[in-house]
Amino acid sequence: MSTLNLNEKKEVIKKILRELHSGVSLEVLKERFKEVLKGISPMEIPLIEQELVKEGVPIQEIIKLCDLHVALFRDFLVSRELEEVPRGHPLNLLLMENEYLLKKAEALNIYALSLSRATTEDEKKALTNHIRELINDLRKIRAHYRKIQMLIFPYMEKRGISAVPRVLWAREDEIIVKLRSIVKLLESNDYVEISKKALEIANGVSEIIFRENKILFPAVWVLLSEGEWAAINDEANKIGWLVNVDAKWTPVEKPVMPYEVKGVVDEEKLEKLPQEMKIIALSGGVKPDEYELIRSGDLDLETGFVNLDELKSLFQSLPLELTFADANDRVRFFSESKIHKGFVRSKTILGRRVEYCHPPRLEAFIKKVLNELKIGSKNYEVFWTKMGDRIIRVMVVALRNDEGKYLGVLEIVEDLTEIVEKPEEVKKKVLVI
Q: Choose the final residue of a domain: 249, 283, 317.
A: 283
- Would the pLDDT of 296 be above 80? yes
pLDDT at 214 over 90: no
Q: State the burial class of residue 364 (Cβ atoms within 10 Å of its Cβ: 0-12, 13-18, 19+).
A: exposed
Average pLDDT over residues 306-329: 95
* pLDDT at res. 1: 43
Q: Is residue 211 located within the same domain as residue 320?
A: no
Residues 335 and 233 occupy one common structural domain: no
Candidate from 6-20, 31-45, 141-155, 359-373 with smallest mean pLDDT = 31-45
Mean pLDDT score of the chain: 88
User: What average pLDDT does range 247-266 have in this prediction?
Assistant: 92
CATH number (domain holding residue 331):
3.30.450.20
Checking DSSP bridges between strand 406-415 and strand 320-326, what pairing results, if any? Answer: antiparallel
Q: Residue 62 falls within a domain, yes or no? A: no
Is pLDDT of 76 > 70? no
**pLDDT given for residue 340 in this prediction:** 81
pLDDT tens, residue by residue, 402-417: 999 999 999 999 999 9
Q: When comparing pLDDT for 270 and 385, which is higher?
A: 385
pLDDT in tens, 371-386: 999 999 999 999 999 9
* pLDDT tens for each residue of 321-334: 999 999 999 999 99
pLDDT at residue 271, as a whole number: 76
- 404 & 367 share domain: yes
CA distance 52 to 104: 18
Structurally, the chain folds into a number of domains equal to 2
Rounded Cα distance between 426 and 417, Å, is 11
Residue 26 lies in a domain: no
In this predicted structure, the answer to whether residue 246 has a pLDDT above a threshold of 50 is: yes
Same domain flag for 92 and 124: yes
Would you list the DSSP string of 289-339?
-------TT-EE-SS-EE-HHHHHHHHHTSSEEEEEEETTSBEEEE---SS
Domain identity same for 402 and 362? yes
Same domain? For 95 and 230 the reply is yes
Does residue 278 belong to any structural domain of this protein?
yes
* Model pLDDT, residue 310: 96
Who wins on pLDDT, 410 or 8?
410
Q: Is 43 exposed, middle or buried (0-12, 13-18, 19+ CB in 10 A)?
A: middle
CATH classification of the domain holding 207: 1.20.120.520
Task: Report the distance separating Cα 347 and Cα 349, nearest Å.
Answer: 5
- Tell me what pLDDT residue 370 has: 95
In a domain, 51, yes or no: no
**Statement to judge: residues 267 and 325 lie in one domain:** no
Cα–Cα distance measured from residue 18 to residue 39, given in angstroms and rounded to the nearest whole number: 20
Query: Is 270 contained in some domain?
Result: yes
State yes or no: pLDDT of 276 exceeds 90.
no
Say if residue 108's pLDDT is above 60. Answer: yes
Task: Return the pLDDT at 68.
Answer: 61
Q: Which residue range(s) make up the domain with 160? A: 78-283
**Whole-number Å distance between alpha carbons of 342 and 349:** 15
Q: Are residues 317 and 244 in the same domain?
A: no
Asked if residue 106 is part of any domain, the answer here is yes
Residues 242 and 339 in one domain: no
Asked whether residue 224 carries a pLDDT value surpassing 60, the answer given is: yes
Within 8 A by CB and 6+ apart from 120, the residues are none
**The pLDDT value given to residue 237:** 97
What's the CA gap between 113 and 117, in Å, rounded? 7
Asked whether residue 25 is domain-assigned, the answer is no
**Is 62 within 8 Å of 26 (Cβ atoms)?**
no
Percent of the chain with pLDDT over 90: 60
- Better pLDDT: 372 or 285: 372
Listed residues 224, 253, 283: the one ending a domain: 283
Contact 93, 243 (CB under 8 A): yes
pLDDT digits (tens, 9 = 90+) for 128-146: 999 999 999 999 999 999 9
pTM of the model: 0.82
Q: Inform me whether the pLDDT recorded for 46 exceeds 70.
A: no
Is there a single domain that holds both residue 123 and residue 201? yes
Q: Does residue 278 share a domain with residue 311? A: no
Specify whether 265 is located in the same domain as 365: no
* More confidently predicted of 185 and 278: 185
Q: Is the dihedral of CA 118, 124, 126, 127 positive or negative?
A: positive
288 assigned to some structural domain: no
